[in-house]
Structure 1
Amino acid sequence: MRYIIIGAGAVGGAMGARLAGAGREVVLVARGAQYTALREGGLRFHAPDGEHIHRLPVVDGPCSLGELRSDDVLVLAVKTQDSEVALDTWGAAPVAGGGTAAERLPLLCAQNGVESQRLALRRFRRVYGVCVWLPATFVEPGVVSAAGAPLTGILHLGRHPYGTDETVCGIAADLEEARFEAPVVPDVARWQYAKLLGNLANAIEAVTGPIADEEQRRLYARVRAEGETVLRAAGIPYASEEEQREARGETRLVPLGGVERGGGSSWQSLTRGTGTIEADYLNGEIVLLGRLHGVPTPLNELLQQLATAFARERRAAGSLPVAELVRLADEAVAAAAGAVAFVQEDLAVRP
């Protein structure tokens, strides 16, 4: 199989580097400064086992690659807000022997959240979900780091919406030779929703800085509890925290000399000044489900709005004092409680 990594940033770059290091054929898809750096200097990958430089084919789209092969695997590793453009672009690409990528090729959604695989299934016949636990960082154009050891990350894989097949088992085997744990599960969405609950902290981290104090942790506990209430109301199962810890086993984060790991994906988006952030598909997923099932979600709605405003206005990552965020959170909860009380009172007096 040949792996086409659509979005050679932190996650995509780390997956591509490890697959290439294991002898698999890899093509990187990038744009802008990342495309230029990868073409000119290769992919520099920092990991606990040292620095690796991979000079791989780099393209900015399917037209630059030419006709796709029937053994290609498309790995979608862009942020969810960029998924629709990527899906439209690559779905229409022709495959040797006839047909398009959307008709013939497997597509792995290696992203946070659960929305991209829904979008993909509108276009692609064979969609696979990936629950991504891969602590990676986009350091600068052409340079990616991943601090996990002895495994680089844990990637639960499965068909979307449910099931497994020979294709995903073959992909998992390649990933396991490339220093990943890659369990194949029939219920990958259960793992993705568990990861989603963890990713609700991304917006807190993005606007107030990497989570390091008790005040941030207490706020996240409230945000997560709100998310868990929503998932229960929606009847959506998710893997327990104990299952997730067991899956990670002995894998830990190792400080990398000369490569500072800051925050997660949302923090990195603000730091890079991309102008967009994935909060609509993390906290926003909880907000959406809450509205569908009649559960107030004031904390996640606040974080969604704040993170989106920070990205749009290109405000500095971590520039909001934690105490100010907590104050805004308390006000949002009080306002939501007041609105619920008003509706209940109004219903009670109606004839």
Structure 2
Amino acid sequence: MRFVIIGAGAVGGVVAGRLAGSGADVALVARGAHLEAIRRDGLLLRQASGDSVHRLPAYATPGEVGWRPGDVAVLAVKSNDTQGVLEQLPRDVPVVCLQNGVANERAALRLFPDVYGICVMLPSAHLEPGVVVAQCAPVPGILDIGRVPGGTDETAREIAARLTKAGFVSEARDDIMRSKYAKLLKNLGNAAEALCGKADGVDEVAAVLGAEGRAVLDAAGIGYASDAEDKARRGDILQLVPVAGETRGGGSTWQSLARGTGAVEADYLNGEIVLLARLHGVPAPANETARRLVVAAAHRGDGPGSMTPAELKAAIDAATR
């Protein structure tokens, strides 16, 4: 089995480095300055235990890979880039969505018979070309996997075993989408964190977004793992630690603003709740407001913390009246 990891950013890069370090066959698809740095210097994986450099085959597009039997396409791009990637893959390759949100699996199922979802619990960072940072130790993350829409098979079990060998906690699960919808609810706060940084009051705004998200999923009849189930699965496994003297700045949306990418995946996080709300005739003004504001901030090139929690709350309150 060769892992072709498409999107070697924070999550994809850490998984690639850990897999390669455990002896797995890994290839990367990246772009821009990050691709240039990987080709020139290798992928630098920074961890509390020390740095490692992984010199891996790296391609600019999936079409350059030279696909072969036994390959697995691991999507680790932001959700807004998924469709373009899927259109470049051979139709017989298994597709693994190592991504936040729940739209990627649906998009893949339109084109591919064998689709797998991974519930990503992997605090990590990618803020400079060629460098990714694993921010938890000694276990870097929890990466449970399952077939979509449900069930497990030998491929899922083998991937879980490979991830376990690489140091992750991973198991094959029959109901992976319940876990992914629960993770979606947690990711609704990404927009608030990106807009407001770590300021006092941001957790309260994130709680409003999560509560509205639960109400929408309930109205849509979509099941998700309870807080108790999620807490039991996480336990005390994920221990954030400083790496090279630096602590975690923020999640994926925060990092997108920090890198000035011009885009965030809020349309597929908060926007998923907005879509479901519209389909089922229920309101979702808080998530629509957060989605709109963080997308606009990305387009303007604003860095993290461009609003205060009070300003974001006022905008949400105005939308609910």
In structure 2, C-alpha distance between the alignment counterparts of 1:39 and 1:192, rounded to whole Å: 33
Shift of 1:154: 0.5
Structure 2 equivalent of residue 340 of structure 1: none
> 2:17 is matched with which residue?
17
Runs of 4+ in 1 over 3 A off after TM superposition: none
Q: Which residue type is aligned with residue 21 of structure 1? A: G
Q: How many angstroms does 1:63 deviate by?
A: 4.0
1:270 equivalent among 257, 274, 295:
257
| Aligned residue in 2 for 1:293 | 280
Give the counterpart letter for 1:235 in structure 2.
G
User: Which one has the largest radius of gyration?
Assistant: 1
Q: Whole-Å Cα distance in 2 between the matches of residues 48 and 186 of structure 1?
A: 33
* Aligned residue among 158, 173, 181 for 1:185: 173
For 2:153, give the aligned amino acid. Answer: D
Gap runs ≥5 in structure 2: none
The answer to whether the aligner puts 1:304 opposite 2:304 as a matched pair is no
**Higher helix residue share:** 1
Report if aligned partners of 1:62, 1:89 keep a CA contact under 8 Å in 2: yes
Q: Take 1:298 and 1:47, find their aligned partners in 2: how far apart are those partners?
A: 40
Q: Give, as a single letter, the amino acid of the residue that structure 2 aligns with 1:231.
A: L
- TM-score computed with the length of structure 1 as normaliser: 0.89
Provide TM-score, normalisation by structure 2.
0.97
Which digits, 9 at most, give the CA deviation of each residue in 1:176-211, with x for residues without a partner?
Answer: 00011112111111000000000000000111113x
Shift of 1:19: 0.2
- The aligned amino acid for 2:286 is L
CA distance, structure 2, for counterparts of residue 185 and residue 63 of structure 1 = 31
> Once the 2 structures are TM-superposed, how far is the Cα of residue 249 of structure 1 from its aligned partner?
2.5
2:48 paired residue number: 48
1:117 maps to 2:117? no
Contact 2:241 2:247 in 1 (8 A): no
User: Does residue 1:198 correspond to 2:186, yes or no?
Assistant: yes
Aligned counterpart for 2:203 among listed residues 214, 217, 220: 217
Q: Tell me which residue corresponds to 1:74.
A: 73
Whole-angstrom distance in 1 between the partners of 2:4 and 2:126: 19
Code of the aligned partner of 2:32: G
Which residue, out of 226, 237, 252, partners 1:240?
226
2:320 counterpart (326, 333, 341): 333
Alignment of 1:309-320 (within 5 A): 309-320=296-307
2:115 maps to what in 1? 127
Contact 1:76 1:111 (8 Å CA) reproduced? yes
Q: Distance in 1 between matches of 2:234 and 2:62?
A: 35
> The residue matched to 2:88 in structure 1 has which SS?
helix
1:164 counterpart residue number? 152
Q: CA deviation at 1:64?
A: 3.0
Structure 1 counterpart SS, 2:5: strand
Code of the aligned partner of 1:15? V
What is the root-mean-square deviation in Å for CA atoms of aligned residues?
A: 1.1
Deviations 1:192-233 (A, max 9, x none): 0000000000000111113x52x2122211111111111111
Distance 1:225 1:281 in 2: 17
Aligned residue pair count: 320
Tell me the distance in 1 between the aligned counterparts of 2:127 and 2:293.
Answer: 25
Q: Distance in 2 between matches of 1:83 and 1:204?
A: 24
Tell me: CA distance 1:232–1:62, structure 2 relative to 1, closer, same or farther (3 Å): closer
Percentage of identical aligned residues: 52
Instruction: Give 2:228's aligned amino acid.
Output: E
Aligned twin of 2:267: 280
Instruction: Report the 3-state secondary structure (helix = DSSP H, G, I; strand = E; otherwise coil) of the residue aligned with 2:52.
Output: strand
Given that 1:145 and 1:259 are in contact with CA atoms closer than 8 Å, whether structure 2 keeps it comes out as no
Give, in angstroms, the shift of residue 62 of structure 1: 3.6
Query: Secondary structure of the residue that 1:181 maps to in structure 2?
Result: coil
